[in-house]
Amino acid sequence: MINLNQLTEDSYNSASRRNPNLNYEEQLRQIFLEECELADAYISEPKMSEHCPELMDIEEELADIILACLVFARGENIDIEKALRIKNEFNKTRQ
């Protein structure tokens, strides 16, 4: 099982190492770019990832979106584990 808070820290540290001037605008831009990469992978011929050979392209890009969201959460000091838990419980009550 993944420890979400540790994954958030790891993702933020990796992103900060690649871009020492990482700010919220760059973090939001990265989420958008990863969404575009997922859309491209989805409409393209299915193929294995070049970076992670054990994943399909679509799996890698979906993971990239989630990781980019975690980077934003960490940058904004959002307790994403808490937010996900509360929002998920709320969604269960929706019609």
Q: Please give the Cα distance from 79 to 69 (Å, whole number).
A: 12
Sign of CA dihedral 95, 82, 7, 25: positive
- What x-and-dash track marks residues 20-59 binding Mg ion by CB under 5 A? --------------x--x----------------------
Give the nearest distance from C-beta 83 to Mg ion in angstroms.
23
Q: Which helix (H) or strand (E) holds 35?
A: helix 24-43
Q: Do 23 and 13 contact (CB within 8 A), yes or no?
A: no
Tell me whether residue 18 or residue 92 sits nearer to Mg ion (CB atom).
Answer: 18
64 binds Mg ion (CB under 5 A): yes
Binding site for Mg ion (CB under 5 A): 34, 37, 61, 64
